[in-house]
Amino acid sequence: MVKYHRPRRGSLGFSPRKRAKRPVPRIRSWPDEDKVRLQAFPVYKAGMSHALIKEDNQKSPKAGQEVFTPITILEAPPINVFGIRVYGRNERNYLTTLTEVWADELDRELDRKIQLPKKEDRKTVDYLDEIKDKIEDVRVLIHTNPKLTCLPKKKPEILEIRIGGKDIEERLNYAKEILGKQLKITDVFQEGELIDTIGITKGKGFQGVIKRWGVRIQPRKHKRQGYARHVGSINPWQPKMIMWTVPRPGQMGYHQRTEYNKRILKIGNNGEEITPKGGFPHYGVIKNDYVVLKGSVQGPQKRLIVLRSAIRPEEPLIKVPEITYISRESKQ
């Protein structure tokens, strides 16, 4: 008897393939770095274009030459830091929230998203000095400003971002310094840096096994019976159950995904120099700071993407790329 072998259809590395709970991604891990700064920044995906850049990788066959590169343009309106959240260790050595400190003046748009606590119920910044010995991690609460963009909404998104650094006291002082202020993308990242993009992919709805897992279409005999786009067998006689590894129809897309080591080619503050003629399709024009990344980014236009410090960077040195041309032709 001849035994045939083939790789399995589809990867099990992202199972279960279910819908994300919300369009705002959740960051579950943070890199260890020495620099005291925010380790992430939320942006909005505007669209894609192409550019010509000088290849600065000396190991490349095209080193020093102009290379055609697809790029992604992301709009980065300023963010508001409205709170500080500190963590400590409990009796089981797990991180747990110790307390939160809110800014005195809050944006009125924040009331659209959550119920704001009363001023008399809020903790003061001095309370953080009293529990300094218990603090293990320092993070800040920020919200976006979609009202400054062309997006058809005013309700902000709320995220929790960790502050990098080794010394807890330096991180705590930096958090107190930026509390209640607006931060720009240039306060967090710089050109040439490697970052990770975290976001929700395009949703494709409920799909069958052929499109979802790449299963082979059945021969014509099964097609006549109406079972062409099905799995040949879903389970054996024993055990009488369907294993979780069997390709099944279900949700496709709208999953949270992380892409590592995306390079920042450019950070600018004039949207007219990057917006194509007629604006980006399904988005509009760039009104705020923008970020140009090399390659593609997950998600459709208008999707919130979180840029995080690279958790496993390939190149420790930051090289500012030389861009010779960026296409601004109409994408309509």
264-294 pLDDT tens trace: 999 999 999 999 999 999 999 999 999 999 9
Task: Label the pairing between strands 137-143 and 79-89.
Answer: antiparallel
Q: How many CB atoms lie within 10 A of CB 46?
A: 28
Identity of the residue numbered 185: I
Contacts with 120 (C-beta within 8 Å, 6 or more apart), sequence order: none
**241 to 104, 178, 183, 231, 245: CA distances (angstroms):** 58, 56, 54, 15, 12
Q: Which residue has tokens 């499109």?
A: 211
- One-letter amino acid identity for 303? R
With a pLDDT cut of 90, the percent of the chain lying above it is 71
Distance of CA 28 to the CA centre of its chain: 11
To which residue do tokens 């850049």 refer? 53
Which residue do the tokens 């959240």 mark? 85
Q: Which residues contact 291 (CB under 8 A, 6 or more apart)?
A: 43, 73, 74, 76, 185, 189, 264, 266, 267, 307
Strands in 133-207 per DSSP E: 137-143, 158-162, 182-183, 194-200, 203-207
Read off the pTM. 0.93
Segment 180-208, tens digit of pLDDT = 999 999 999 999 999 999 999 999 999 99
> Hey, what domains does the chain have and what are their CATH numbers?
14-77+185-224+247-332 (2.40.30.10), 79-183 (3.30.1430.10)
The 3-state DSSP composition of the chain as helix, strand, coil percent (nearest 5) reads 15, 35, 55
pLDDT number for residue 1: 65
**pLDDT attached to residue 318:** 79
